[in-house]
Amino acid sequence: MPGCHNGEVGKKLISEADGKAALADLETQMPTAVRYLLQQISVAYPGGTVELRVPPFGAVQCLEGLNHRRGTPPNVVELSPDVFLKLCMGQLQVAEASKLRG
């Protein structure tokens, strides 16, 4: 269905042009940049085994395996927008990011 993603009605896809523009202007377009990257992850790694959350901007289910239907899935990764963006853009490694929480 056009304008839908992973069977989710009502979630408008962010175009590549809009996503790249948001990534180039994080100061004013961080919410769109985060949502665009979450969208890209859900396309590249479809499934429902892990829920990736970047509050307050969005969350996606990704990676194949067991799907969860309701409530909090057993495999949740929650990141701040800043850490998420730095990881996606190669400015931060996972090992470094894991130390930031603790």
- Domain ranges, ordered by start, for the chain: 16-100
Q: What is the mean pLDDT of residues 2-19?
A: 69
Task: Cis check for the bond before 2: say yes or no (omega within 30 of 0).
Answer: no
97: pLDDT confidence band, cut at 50, 70 and 90?
Answer: confident
More confident residue, 94 or 19: 19
Is the pLDDT at 80 greater than 80, yes or no?
Answer: yes
pLDDT in tens, 18-65: 999 999 999 999 999 999 999 999 999 998 888 999 999 999 999 887
Q: Which CATH number fits domain 16-100: 3.40.50.720, 3.30.1050.40, 3.40.50.150, 1.10.1200.10?
A: 3.30.1050.40
Nearest to 85 by CA among 18, 40, 47: 40
Distance between terminal CA atoms of the chain? 42
User: So what's the pLDDT on residue 73?
Assistant: 61
- Tell me the pLDDT of the chain averaged across its residues: 85
Distances (CA, A) of 90 to 26, 78, 96: 15, 18, 12
Residue 10 region, left (φ>0) first, then alpha (ψ -120 to 50), else beta? left
Q: How far is CA 55 from CA 16, 35, 44, 91, 101, in A?
A: 22, 10, 21, 20, 15
The yes-or-no verdict on residue 8 having pLDDT over 60 is no
